[in-house]
Amino acid sequence: MPCGTGLVSRRIFPKLTAKGGLRETKEWLNAALNDLSRAGVDYADARYLDRESESITVRNEQVAGLSRKDDCGFGIRVLYKGSWGFAASARPTEADVTATAGRALEVAKASYLTQRQPVKLDESPPHVGRYRTRFEVDPFAVSLDRKLELLFAALKILRQDKGIAVAEGAMSFYRTEKLFLSTEGAEVTQSILESGAGIEATAIEGGDVQRRSYPTSMGGDFAAHGYEFVESLKLVENAERMREEALALLAAEPCPAGNRDLIIDSSQLVLQVHESCGHPTELDRALGTEISYAGGSFLTPDKVGKFRYGSKIVDIFGDATIPGSIGSFGYDDEGVAAQRFPIIEEGVFVGYLTSRETAPILGRQSSGAMRAESWNHIPLIRMININLEPGEEQLTLDDLIADTKEGILVSTNKAWAIDDLRLNFQFGCEIAWEIKHGKRVRMLKNPVYTGITPQFWGSCDAICDRSEWRVWGLPNCGKGEPPQTMHVAHGVAPARFRNVEVGVKK
């Protein structure tokens, strides 16, 4: 079957079961799984993936990066006498499928040489099903001229003042077709489309560099929608504000250090949730399988149901079922159906993101959070949509500011850092405003805040209501060895935290 030629990747979901091509590959993969069963493996699964992506970066007057990528291949995962092996190949031919299955078994047998405790999978039922993203405008059918026109129109506004040294805009699109098969009889096909875009302005004066990004930093916002999502971001309409704020930051006072009440808007709170709620609730981290790389977690299994993670208004859910989010899917990469489940309830830690291997350790079933970046990676426990639930009382961001006597409002992440147990964090933001007597009184630059995760979430005394709640897509969450980048998302509304350490202690 040809792979990565641009022909296969244009197929969409209904053709996955068409004659030839994928049908042949599916037969070979099923035959390989049958051979592995006959060879006495406990379990095996096969994933075939075909992804088309497009990335455009424009900087000042130039196209700094313009590329399309086709990526296609398959991976076979084997559980042999309770030990894992995985092998993957970019060549989906019958001979390669057979050879790759043999290699996966050889690798599993090597793992078995050091086994101390055999892996046992949970009883999650094997699914036969399909899932596809709903969208209006296929971004791969939109002309490149139209995309470039939009980005350059936004950049033209950003560059209208010479103080802006760098104006940048970017768009990315991904179409992923996936097939999952297992020796338990699972057969799942999924077609997922993702789109995202953003702009940023960098102002430089002497030794001062200030940046404003819209709708957020690190490439912008992403959703499981078509090109209509990019147009809905209104990059052009927001460019002038970004330009003016970047320039104004050069003249702004530095954010003063000290303990302050802090309002975090949703473009920054999304990363706070990601780093201090999402990662520490990955059960593989808590069990030590990431301890030599990404790190462990302070949320150890003995704390489930007992540990006060945050204040009573803090409710955090894992939810892979939100339509249009890049943290959503029909089935995870173990074939487990997407779910919504509590992680923090009324401030108490109650659950993890889990897999079929790890959930039984807690006497539970998988929460459906095993995800692999591509065909050549094994699935790991990854974030899905990890959402801070909105407040129940009516409360807009303006209401929250009006309710704050003295404080700092911060927006848009600039720098992020957190320790290996996800306790001590420090975030830098692009912009802040001082609040006095319920009003924004002045802009501040270089805001930094720091804290200890449970103390910080324990100080949360207000969360804005659903009208301010928004799901942000992050397409660049890193984890694992070899490193994998995952598309995840978080629903958040602005929130207030009391007595937070702002600035850097000297």
Partner 1 sequence: MIGEQRILEVLRRVVGRSPADGTELVYMGGRSDLTRYTKSAIHQNVSEEDTRVYVRVAEGKRLGVVTVNTLEEEALVRTATRALELARHPPENPFFKVFPRPAGYERTQTYFEATAKFAPAARAETMKRIFAQAERLGLEVAGAFSTGEGEVAVLNSNGVAAYQPLTQAGITIVPVSKEGMSRSSAFSHDVSSIDFERVAAKALERCTLNRNQQEMPLGQYDVILEPRCLAEVMMWLSFIAFGSNSFIEGTSFLAGKLGERSMGENVTIYDSVREPEAQGLPFDFQGSPKQRVTLIEHGINRGVVFDSISANQAKARPTGHAGLPGSPYGAIPWNLCLGPGDSSVEEMIASCQRGLLVSNFHYVNGFLDPKKALMTGMTRYGTFFIEGGKIKHAVKNLRWTESMLRALSNVQAIAREREVITDEAVSFAVMPAVYIKDFTFTGVQKE
Which of 157, 235, 271, 423 touches partner 1 by CB under 8 A? 423
Which of 55, 98, 238, 459 touches partner 1 by CB under 8 A? 55
Q: Kindly identify the residues of this chain, within the stretch 471-490, that bind partner 1 according to CB under 8 A.
A: 481-483
Q: What angle do CA 139, 145, 146 make, to 5 degrees?
A: 55
Which of 31, 84, 163, 340 touches partner 1 by CB under 8 A? 84
Distance of CA 148 to the CA centre of its chain: 26
* Cβ contact 480:295 at 8 Å: no
23: left (phi over 0), alpha (psi -120 to 50) or beta: alpha
Q: Does 90 bind partner 1 (CB under 8 A)?
A: yes
Q: Where is 217: in which H helix or E strand? A: none
Q: What is the rounded CA–CA span in Å between residue 453 and residue 279?
A: 12
CB of 322 to partner 1, least distance (A): 28
The alpha carbons of the chain give a radius of gyration, in whole angstroms, of: 24
Which of 88, 142, 337, 502 touches partner 1 by CB under 8 A? 88
**Taking Cα atoms as reference points, which of 460, 445, 459 lies closest to residue 410?**
445
Which of 12, 39, 64, 402 touches partner 1 by CB under 8 A? 64
CB of 110 to partner 1, least distance (A): 4
Which of 14, 39, 65, 259 touches partner 1 by CB under 8 A? 65
Q: Does 73 bind partner 1 (CB under 8 A)?
A: yes
CB of 130 to partner 1, least distance (A): 25
Q: Does 256 bind partner 1 (CB under 8 A)?
A: no
Total interface residues for partner 1 by CB under 8 A:
91
CB of 144 to partner 1, least distance (A): 4
Q: Kindly identify the residues of this chain, within the stretch 221-240, that bind partner 1 according to CB under 8 A.
A: none
CB of 312 to partner 1, least distance (A): 20
Q: Does 257 bind partner 1 (CB under 8 A)?
A: no
* Cβ contact 163:187 at 8 Å: no
Q: Which stretch binds partner 1 (CB under 8 A): 64-72, 235-243, 339-347, 464-472?
A: 64-72
CA torsion sign, 11 to 17 to 18 to 22? positive
Q: Kindly identify the residues of this chain, within the stretch 287-326, that bind partner 1 according to CB under 8 A.
A: 288-289, 291-293, 295, 298
Comparing CB distances to partner 1, the nearer of 20 and 62 is 62
How many residues in total does the chain contain? 506
One DSSP character per residue, 79-120 reads: EETTEEEEEEES--SHHHHHHHHHHHHHHHHHHHTT-SS---
CB of 405 to partner 1, least distance (A): 27
Q: Kindly identify the residues of this chain, within the stretch 358-417, that bind partner 1 according to CB under 8 A.
A: 376-378, 414-417
Comparing CB distances to partner 1, the nearer of 249 and 462 is 249
CB of 482 to partner 1, least distance (A): 6
Q: Does 162 bind partner 1 (CB under 8 A)?
A: no
Q: What is the rounded CA–CA span in Å between residue 464 and residue 215?
A: 19
Structure-token pair, residue 230 = 């990019």
Q: Does 57 bind partner 1 (CB under 8 A)?
A: yes
CB of 182 to partner 1, least distance (A): 18
Q: Does 143 bind partner 1 (CB under 8 A)?
A: yes
What are the E-state strand segments in 231-365?
253-254, 258-264, 316-319, 340-345, 348-349
Q: What is the rounded CA–CA span in Å between residue 464 and residue 390?
A: 6
The amino acid that residue 65 corresponds to is: G
One DSSP character per residue, 374-405 reads: STTS--EE---BEEEPPPSS---HHHHHHT-S
3-class SS letters over 451-497: EEHHHHHHCEEEECCHHHCEEEEEEEEEECCCCEEEEEEEEECCEEE
Q: Kindly identify the residues of this chain, within the stretch 169-228, that bind partner 1 according to CB under 8 A.
A: 170, 202, 204, 207-209
The amino acid that residue 494 corresponds to is: P
Q: Kindly identify the residues of this chain, within the stretch 31-50, that bind partner 1 according to CB under 8 A.
A: none
